[in-house]
Amino acid sequence: MSVKHAISRGLELGRSVFQLGLLKPAGRLAAKFRGERLRVGQPARTVQPQTFLPARYRYYRMSLSGLAAQLQSGGLRRLVGGGSLRNRAVFLAFGVGLGLIEQQLEDDRKSAATCQEIQAIFRKTKLQNSFKPFTSGYKLEDYVIGRQIGKGCNAAVYEAAAPFAVPREHGTCSIKELNQNKDDNKLAGSFRFSPTANYPLAVKMMWNIGAGSSSEAILNSMSQELVPAGPQALKQEKGEITLNGRAPTRVTSHPNVIKVYRAFTAEVPLLPGAQEEYPDVLPARLNPTGMGNNRTLFLVMKNYPCTLRQYLQVHEPSWREGSLMVLQLLEGVDHLCKQGIAHRDLKSDNVLLEFDSVGCPRLVITDFGCCLAEKNLKLPFNSRWVNRGGNACLMAPEVATAVPGPNVVIDYSKADAWAVGAISYEIFGQQNPFYSPKGLECRSYQEKQLPALPASVPADTQLVVRLLLRRNPNKRPSARVAANMLHLGLWGKRALANLDQASMKKMADWLLCQSALVLLKGHGPDRSSVEGELQRGFLSNLDFEDLHTAVGFLLYGREQHLCITP
């Protein structure tokens, strides 16, 4: 480093210190003077922010401040006393730099305290789906079954309702009536034309081939399906379900995760279309060549109009709708990750969709049959017989390329976030790059091979999708960080306009304004809207480190001309 450059750098840092050390106290003194003249009554009690740095780091922070002062003082003495000009300039610049680091730590501490206070306020109101309390029974006979609305690899889904909720003229029937009229072709055909509005519920019948017919064996074998079950879902089932001596993991309620109202075992009935569409999984009493057991698991949930895939086949969302849909998937994945759940089969068929009061799509993640319920989201992979998850096309690279062996562990903490990146292409009207015979191979693709998203998609959103599809999970943002990036892109562009990564003070000011705005809207009709739910969810999950990382990614995108923020 040349002497000229060292002196220039030292003067620049010195000017900054002068402004930080002299001008700010003067401004505070003037503000205090004005406040004393205008103050009426008793002074307001101030709330002290919580300490950001843990106790074991406080000595370091105080020592850093003292070291900066000593170096600055020593630098001035050397400047007057003698020695090499270059060494004196570098010595002084180093001391000034430490002083700036201390100032940045103080700013970050205050910003972190602001985030904690906002988070505490919004966590007082739990995020829940806008469903009324569910009171229907725990037996299959308690429901009127409608037509089949879905079928997968291990279950069939039928629309359903409580007996008192469905008009009789719409060709509906109970389980008893189905058994009495199973040979009546006219009755079976009437289900195709039953209005969906008359069936607010959906019953999912699992296919039971190897789990046995006892309730305990069925519940243990299909325990993954119980992950989104509510606290009252299994109230009538006998005995406590345990897996390896502990209760199964259950995820708490979230607007973007399906909620199972009731879960119970019952005898397999002959439902409409069973003989034609899934005869092999029926029990022998219903089909002599069937391989199924007599009893199976039934799940009662809300009936949604369609899947995400069905919706995208007939409608192309606007750029804003698409960004909100990607954001909802990330919020749902983040909620699952925080509770030790990796879905492992995330695809547009496993996402259900409805609409809020203003017509904005609301997405919920469903079908947890392949999920991993481990607090650390890590799976020992010591044999090729270990199940790595569902859809092989949308398997994150770190999962798809794992080779079984001693002490090998697959980390699923960012695998679902990668799948969201792939699904984003479908949301924005393009072919999923990992589907079809000509699609990319998740094991070996290169990031430069990823197709470009439409030009109408905001640059912030394009950046998020690109980052989510990074091969290296260490360079890939978590679902929380990616969601924060979209939140800032949708509602915080002004806060990002003149922000640099060294200071988060402007961001903290914006967060306070945003919190006030969301609280005011929370008492109006916007409370049940998708945007209102997302904004409250963002503020209730505020974490300074995650927010700082999100800002860093956005600034990186701006520098690389990948993200343009006005």
> Do residue 68 and residue 217 come from a single domain?
no
CATH number of the domain enclosing 394: 1.10.510.10
> Is residue 97 located within the same domain as residue 214?
no
pLDDT tens across the length of the chain (566 residues): 454 555 455 555 555 544 444 444 444 434 443 444 333 344 444 334 344 444 444 444 444 455 455 555 555 555 455 555 555 555 555 555 545 455 555 666 777 777 777 778 777 765 444 445 677 788 999 999 999 998 888 999 999 998 876 654 444 444 444 444 444 433 333 333 334 568 999 999 999 988 888 888 898 889 899 999 988 888 766 555 665 566 667 899 999 999 999 999 999 999 988 999 999 999 999 999 999 999 999 999 999 999 999 999 999 999 999 999 999 999 999 999 999 999 999 999 999 999 988 889 999 999 999 999 988 999 999 988 999 888 888 999 999 999 999 999 999 999 999 999 999 999 999 999 999 788 899 999 999 999 999 999 999 999 999 999 999 999 999 999 999 999 999 988 777 777 665 566 777 788 888 888 888 776 555 667 899 899 999 988 888 889 889 988 988 887 765 554 43
Is residue 431 within 8 A of residue 437, CB to CB? The reply is: no
Report the C-alpha gap between 414 and 407 in whole angstroms.
20
The span from the CA of 467 to the CA of 463, in Å, is 6
pTM of the model: 0.76
Decide if 335 contacts 254 (C-beta within 8 A). yes
Note whether 317 and 208 are same-domain residues: no
- Provide the angle, in degrees to the nearest 10, between the axes of the packed helices 530-540 and 85-123: 130
Its sign, for the CA torsion 322, 327, 328, 330, is: positive
State the Cα–Cα distance between residues 93 and 398, nearest whole angstrom: 44
To the query of whether residue 184 is one of the catalytic residues in this protein, the response is no
**What are residue 280's phi and psi, to 5 degrees?**
-70, -25
**pLDDT score at 265:** 92
Within a domain: residue 108? no
Looking at the structure, tell me whether residues 281 and 368 fall in a common domain: no
Range of the domain at 252: 140-303
User: Environment class of residue 314 by beta-carbon count within 10 Å: exposed (0-12), middle (13-18) or buried (19+)?
Assistant: exposed
4 lies in some domain? yes
Are 365 and 221 within one domain? no
By the 8 A CB rule, do 217 and 251 touch?
no
> Do 317 and 234 have their domain in common?
no
Please tell me the predicted confidence (pLDDT) of residue 558: 75
Rounded-to-integer distance, Cα 115 and Cα 543, Å: 6
Answer yes or no: do 291 and 319 share one domain.
Answer: no
Tell me the CA end-to-end span of the chain in Å, nearest whole number: 36
Number of domains in the chain: 3
489 and 466 in a common domain: yes
| Residue 192 belongs to some domain of the structure | yes
pLDDT of 289 reads 92
Q: Residue 176 burial (CB < 10 Å; 0-12/13-18/19+)?
A: exposed
| Inside any domain, residue 31 | no
| Residue 258 lies inside a defined structural domain of this protein | yes
Q: Which position among 107, 108, 142, 345 bears the catalytic label?
A: 345
Same domain, 438 and 289: no
pLDDT at 514: 82
Per the domain annotation, does 564 fall within a domain?
no
Residues 356 and 477 in one domain: yes
Q: Tell me which of 275, 303, 331 is where a domain ends.
A: 303
Q: Give the domain-ending residue among 303, 323, 341.
A: 303
